[in-house]
Amino acid sequence: MANILVFDSGMGGLTVYREIRRTLPAHNYVYCFDNANFPYGELSEPALIAACCRLVSHMVAANAIDLVVIACNTASTIALPALRETLKVPVVGVVPAIKPAAALTHNGCIGLLATPGTVSRAYTHTLIAQFAPGKRVLLKGATELVIEAEHKLAGRPVNMVLLREVLADWLDEAVVPDTLVLGCTHFPLLDDEIRQLMPDCQLVDSGSAVARRVAHLLADVPTSMLAEGKGRAYCTRLDAQAQKLTTPLQAWGLSSLEEVEF
Ligand code: DGL
């Protein structure tokens, strides 16, 4: 059995964890979210790299982690080289699913819905140039939707007026995206609501591809077919708001929520 760390700024990484745990139920999961520095999409690149390296290194050492999943596009598109240099265990990242979207689009128009950080990264622009040549890729960075996804997970209703405002120019143009890349791991939490507004659009995320990659890397680790692994969660600030997440996290198979001590 392996100990797998799944890391994000908030609740978005759960959408990746869900895919990995469904594929590999017999491993143990540590879900860590850096809510003290949330939202990552608004952090400067040096601050983001420093925060991720410090916290992830601590979590790996403190929990005998065998494999790390950076379940955050905003962090993966900038911090993966530094993390791989710092850590001795494999690090799997999540980047926007531009390549599958380019293969799926019929009208040649793709929307990339991500954080302001991710849409501004050189990494993202290289990904588009490399894997979606000749396609029209429209970029939108929306921290307000990251916050809506957090609210939804905590049991609050999604603000559909706000969602419509954010997506407005993709609903009314003559040529609108027929394929939408959910380039932030928070956004699959809003997929029902996005589908209500864009019923003809295919939504693409990277969760299942990450799960396949993790399965490939752990192919040699023996697992029991009988025992299901355990899951627990850590945050960087266990305030009243975070405490309210304890019950929703239990529903995702994460039995406890503690603050990281470092
Ligand atoms: N879930 C994250 C992502 O995939 C980051 C959200 C945020 O903290 O801004 O980009």
- In tens, the pLDDT along 174-186 reads 779 999 999 999 9
Tell me 161's DSSP state. Answer: H
Q: Cα of 85 to ligand 1 centre, how many Å? A: 22
Instruction: Please tell me if the CB atom of residue 74 comes closer than 6 angstroms to any atom of ligand 1.
Output: yes
Q: So what's the pLDDT on residue 260?
A: 98
Q: How many Å is the Cα radius of gyration of the chain?
A: 18
Mutate which of 72, 112, 143, 189 for ligand 1? The one with the most ligand atoms within 8 Å of its CB, which is 72
Q: Could you tell me if the CB of 39 is within 6 A of ligand 1?
A: yes
Lowest mean pLDDT among 15-19, 118-122, 152-156, 218-222: 218-222
CA of 185 from ligand 1 middle (Å) equals: 6
Residue 27 structure tokens: 């491993």
Distance set, CA 135 to CA 19, 105, 196 (Å): 29, 9, 25
pLDDT score at 136: 96
**pLDDT band, residue 224 (cuts 50/70/90):** low
Assess whether pLDDT exceeds 70 at residue 226: no
What are the tens digits of pLDDT across the range 77-114?
999 999 999 999 999 999 999 999 999 999 999 999 99
Residue located via tokens 């050189």? 122
> Using CA atoms, how far apart are residues 164 and 208, in angstroms rounded to an integer?
27
10 pocket-lining for ligand 1 (C-beta < 6 Å)? yes
What token pair was written down for 68? 């790390």
Whether 72 is catalytic: yes
Q: Which residue among 32, 52, 184, 235 is the active-site one?
A: 184
Residues contacting 1, CB < 8 A, separation 6+: 26, 27, 28, 221, 222, 223, 224, 227, 229
pLDDT at 9 over 80: yes
Predicted pLDDT at 105: 98
Using a 6 Å cutoff on CB, does residue 7 contact ligand 1? no
Please name the CATH architecture into which domain 98-205 falls: 3-Layer(aba) Sandwich (3.40)
Distance 13 CA to ligand 1 centre (A): 8
Distance from the alpha carbon of residue 244 to the mean position of ligand 1, in angstroms: 20
Is residue 225's pLDDT more than 70? no
**CA-closest residue to ligand 1 atom 2:** 72
User: Does the C-beta of 33 come closer than 6 Å to ligand 1?
Assistant: no
Over 90: is that where the pLDDT of 46 sits? yes
Q: What is the pLDDT of residue 172?
A: 82
CATH 3.40.50.1860 placement within the chain? 3-94+208-259, 98-205
The CA angle 65-68-70, to the nearest 5 degrees, is 150
Question: Is 73 close to ligand 1, i.e. is its CB under 6 Å away?
Answer: yes
Q: What is the pLDDT of residue 220?
A: 82
140: Cβ below 6 Å to ligand 1? no
- Asked if residue 227 has pLDDT above 90, the reply is no
CATH of span 3-94+208-259: 3.40.50.1860
Global pTM? Answer: 0.97
| DSSP code for 254 | -
